[in-house]
Every structure is written in C-alpha cells, then in structure tokens.
Amino acid sequence: MATADIQATETVPWWRGAAIYQVYPRSFADGNGDGIGDLAGIRQRLPYLAELGVDAVWMSPWYPSPMADAGYDIADFRDIDPVFGTLAEAELLIKEAHDLNIRIIVDVVPNHCSDAHPWFVEALAAGPGSPQRQRFWFRAGRGPTGDTPPTDLQSIFGGPAWTRVTEPDGSPGEWYLHLFAPQQPDFNWEHRAVWAEFDDILRFWFDRGVDGIRIDSAAVLIKEPLPRDEASYTDRDEVHQVYRAWRRISDSYPDERILIGEVWLPDPARFARYLRPDELHTAFNFAFLNCPWDAAEMRRCVDETIFAHAPVGAPPTWVLSNHDVTRHVTRYGRQNTSFSFETRVEGVPLDLALGERRARAAILLTLALPGAAYLYQGEELGLAEVEDIPLDRRTDPMFSRSGGSNPGRDGCRVPLPWSGTRQPFGFSPDDAETRSWLPQPAAWASRTVQAQTGDPGSMLELYRAALRIRRAESALGDGAIRWIDAGEGTLAFTRDPGFTCVVNLSSGAVALPEHMKILLASGSTANRLLPKDSAAWLRTR
C-alpha cells in the first residue's frame, strides 16, 4: 500500500487555502527600461515572490491590447502584448514560477474584447445584418434618423453604454453595446461561436501550464436582447451554463486547474451560486474589501461569508485591495473606512499612520481566516493610494469618462518601488532614460523592498513572517473558525489545532491570554497588552 497515495488523497487542494499575489504587469517591474513593467521584469523578480511566501500569482491581462482600459480591452486572447514581451517569455515565466513552487493564474475577459479585436473589425466592415455583427450587440438607434441610442443604458465607466458606428459606405449606422468603455464591445453570449472561442482560449492557457483562470466581470455576460437597465445583465441565470461548461474543461486536466470569478454581487446567497460544485472553484469576496474597520461589521461580514460558502462546499476568499479599488492603507486612515466605486474620492482628510497600523492588523486577520487570501502588489510594502497624479498623466477611462468627477484607478496602479532613493526606485533599470508610466511619490524612498528588507518593524517583514507562519501552521488556510468572546470591539477566534487570532478594534488595549505563546503581532505586545488597531497570532504553548 503506497503511503504516498494516502497522503495524496488526504491533501487539501492547493487553492482552498492559497495566498495568491496579484501582479499588475504594467507596474510590477520594468526589465527593458521603457518605463512600463514587463515579463522580463516579472521573471527577474520571481525569487522575490518565492521569498515573500505566496503560493500563486495572478497576472492581470498581458495580452495584445490598445490599452484603452489598461489591457482589459483585449485584441488577441492568445498572445502577449509587445510592450510586455512575447508568448515564448510567458511560457518561460510559467515554467520558472513552477520551478519556484509558484502557481500561475491568468486573467480572461469573456464579457468583451477590444475594438481592435479582429472579430470586431470584421463586424464593422461586414455591415448591418451580417453574421459577423451577431457576435456582438449591434442594434439600430431610436428616432427618425436613428441617432438616439437603442436604450438608455449607462456604461459602468460613465456615459451611454452604446456607441454609434460609421458604416462602410460612410453613413451613420448602427450602435453597439459596451458595458465598459466604447473601446470594449460586449460579446453576444447567445452566439455559439463565442462559446467555442472561449472554450478554446481556456484550453490554450491550460495547455501552456497555467493553474487557474481569473474571470473578469463574471456575472454580466448574459444580456437580454435589448438591455433596459442594470437588472437586465447582472447575474442572469443563464450565465451559470457558461461556468458549468468551463468547469468541465478545467476538470478535464489531470491536476487541479481552477476558475476564480470576479463576481460583484451584494447578495451572498446569489454569489454562492457561482461556487456550486460544478461551477467556479472560488470567487473574490468583495464584501470583506467593502467592509468598514469596525468589529461588529467585520464579524458580521466574516460570518455571512462563511455561512454563504458552507452549503456549496467552497472555501471563502479574503481580499483587501486590488487594481480597481483605493489602497487599503488609505481607506483605513480615513474617517469612512469602507469602499465604494460611487463615492471614490481623493483628498479626504487622512491619517496615514493610523491607516498603516490598521492595515498591519488587517493582514493578520485576513491571513488567519479560513480559505484563500488575495494580496495586491505593493500592499506588502504598505503603499498608500497616490492621490496627486497630475491630471494629464491619468490614463484610466473611469477618470476621463466621468469628466474627472471620479479620480479613477491610476492611484493604486503606480509602479512599485524596489530600491534606491530616487524615482524610479529600481522599477526600471538604473540606466533607463524613460520615466515610469505613472509618477511615484518621492516619499516612497522609505517604502522600497530594499529599505524594508531586514527591518523587523516594516510592513514587508510582517507579510513575510505572516506568510511563513501560515505555511507552517496546519491550522491556517482551509478549515473552520470558532469565535471566542474577547469583549466588545475585539475579534478573537481559534483555529484548530491550537491557533488563536486576536484583533483589537476597540478604543483601548486588550490583555492577551497568559497561557499562550505570541507567534506574531502587528504592533507592540509589551506587558502582553495588545494596543488598539492591532492584531496578534497566538498558539497554545
């Protein structure tokens, strides 16, 4: 009887408790000195990610793209944009990551493509009524001359969700639907060719060894023929058929290949439907990211999350930041600590020291909760939102399409500081002549990987220590929690065997139990007192 067999069957699948690091390729590391991050830069820094202790890396889109939405407007789903490198480099990157025990997840965007995608170019050329147009949502306009959009639907980035095209003969023509920017036409998922195309794209990347697919805008693929309002495209039942088909594809590979949904839905029960055993493996828990820094709200969010996931048997996930939201050091340093796209603002009074203290506590909470955790590049350096990017250097369509009323997402996408005391802080090679695509704050001199390495009080060393313990502790990752009553304003829970996490969100210090060993703390634990806005990991001696 092979012992190895027994172990293999008892092992928890890697993704149920993984710490997954999001790389935003444009801003991670620039290998060739043009001021834009690339695959050469990522490959050079893979040892950094291995040392940090993450299990997998999710790559935001790296495909050929006109970059109208930073690569979420894809012109070719099976290649790499030249600004990032080549497909051969991507294959090397996957292999090198695997050699370091890091899994790779790629981002697939099934809701839309770029207006430079060959299908859309063909659709424009083929004209009204053509089969080529049926792969998208082309409709005639309203009014005698058709110059009013087919419906009043607004795009998620602001402005109408319809754009009128000029027909091949030069006349004003049909309109096409785009839930996001006009450069991102929506696919028509009622067309079999769209299904077949994405089946093939999934296989293309799985065949290249990727371990998972992050599915962009996963809940909005299916539309009514004439979308009238938001309710007509969000979370329609038919979308689950897509993910059942995708699960059959991922399950056809002998090892675990996973599907991760970007599912923004307020109702936890509707959210959990995406995680039924024959659909997606996991999905981002945005409720946690939206949750204010408040003990009762946090506890409710954790409970609701665990409660919603239990019936479908999926592990919860925990997310504090990503490339779309205000960095959490900044959120937690404000009076209003929750996040919403609608109220995203800059220049709100901010206590960065407070934000950082809470962020340190929050990561210990996040990494102690059951399930998988997502980390966004730069949070391990304690980077704050950059709120003073000159307006003429902002690239995000959320900024331009809102007429500037929404500051956009550039502030959480600023290139990482690696080393040195001046811009570009090692993001580009020393001899690079081009400035980085977004400016970095001068104050990041103290935030570089180099400056934080070896400093026991740094955010980076806290992440390294926490991830190291998380790997070593069988209690962490997938599993269950049990709350302990630790008084109002304090979250405390145990994880078997023998692990306890205490997070103090109250207004005073909390005494840590005498009989336990302190494994790690986000701040001082002098006299076994845990100050407010801090957290500790404890173990039964």
* Chain positions contacting ligand NOJ, by CB under 6 A: 69, 72, 109, 180, 216-217, 262, 323-324
Q: How far is the CB of 58 from ligand NOJ (least distance, A)?
A: 11
Task: Decide which of ligand NOJ, Ca ion, none touches 107; Cβ closer than 5 to 8 Å per partner kind.
Answer: none
User: In the bound complex, what is the minimum distance in angstroms from residue 32's beta carbon to Ca ion?
Assistant: 4
Cα distance between residue 365 and residue 536, in whole Å: 9
Cα dihedral 64/66/68/70 (nearest 10): 40
Rank residues 202 and 486 by Cβ distance to ligand NOJ and give the closer one. 202
**Rounded distance, CA 88 to CA 162, Å?**
37
DSSP code at position 136: B
Q: How far is the CB of 324 from ligand NOJ (least distance, A)?
A: 5
* Position 438 contacts Ca ion (CB under 5 A): no
Question: Which residue type does 61 have?
Answer: P
Closest to Ca ion by CB, 121 vs 432, is 432
CA atoms within 13 A on the CB side of 396: 24
Please name the residue that has the structure tokens 């959990």: 272
Q: Which stretch binds Ca ion (CB under 5 A): 36-44, 151-159, 357-365, 461-469?
A: 36-44
Q: Which is nearer to ligand NOJ, 323 or 331 (CB)?
A: 323
Q: What is the C-alpha to C-alpha distance for residues 514 and 506, in angstroms, rounded to an integer?
A: 20
Q: Does 80 bind Ca ion (CB under 5 A)?
A: no
Q: Which of 36, 220, 381, 476 is the binder for Ca ion (CB under 5 A)?
A: 36
81 makes contact with Ca ion (CB under 5 A)? no
The residue whose Cβ lies closest to ligand NOJ is 72
The item of ligand NOJ, Ca ion, none sharing an interface with residue 279, based on CB under 5 to 8 Å by kind, is none
358 binds, among Ca ion, ligand NOJ, none (CB under 5 to 8 A by kind): none
Q: Which is nearer to ligand NOJ, 214 or 357 (CB)?
A: 214
Question: Whole-angstrom Cα distance, residue 196 to residue 481?
Answer: 42
* CB 217 to ligand NOJ: min, Å: 5
CB of 208 to ligand NOJ, least distance (A): 22
Least gap, CB of 36 to Ca ion (angstroms): 4
Check residue 38 for interaction with Ca ion (CB under 5 A). yes
Which of 41/408 has CB closer to ligand NOJ? 408
Give just the sign of the alpha carbon dihedral 165, 168, 172, 173.
negative
30/533 with CB nearer Ca ion = 30
Closest CB 373 distance from ligand NOJ, rounded Å: 18
Contacted by 38, from Ca ion, ligand NOJ, none: CB < 5 to 8 Å by type: Ca ion
Q: Which residue's CB is nearer to Ca ion, number 38 or number 81?
A: 38
Cα 345-351-354 angle, rounded to 5 deg:
120
Distance, CA of 281 to CA of 299 (rounded, Å):
24
Q: Are the C-beta atoms of 373 and 365 separated by less than 8 Å?
A: no
DSSP string covering 334-389, please? SSS----STT--S-----HHHHHHHHHHHHHHHHHSSSEEEEETTGGGTPPP----
Q: Which does 36 bind (CB under 5 to 8 A by kind): ligand NOJ, Ca ion, none?
A: Ca ion
Q: Which does 217 bind (CB under 5 to 8 A by kind): Ca ion, ligand NOJ, none?
A: ligand NOJ
Name the binder of 453 from ligand NOJ, Ca ion, none, CB < 5-8 A by kind: none
Amino acid at 372: A
Shortest approach of Ca ion to residue 67 CB, angstroms? 13
DSSP 8-state secondary structure symbol assigned to residue 150? S
Integer Cα distance of 390 and 411 in angstroms: 11
The answer to whether 184 and 68 are in contact (CB under 8 A) is yes
Indicate the residue among 182 and 426 with the shorter CB distance to ligand NOJ: 182
- Work out what residue 32 binds among ligand NOJ, Ca ion, none; the CB cut-off runs from 5 to 8 Å by kind: Ca ion
Distance CA 244, CA 329 (A): 38
| Half-sphere exposure (Cβ direction) of 523: Cα atoms closer than 13 Å | 21
* Chain positions contacting Ca ion, by CB under 5 A: 30, 32, 34, 36, 38
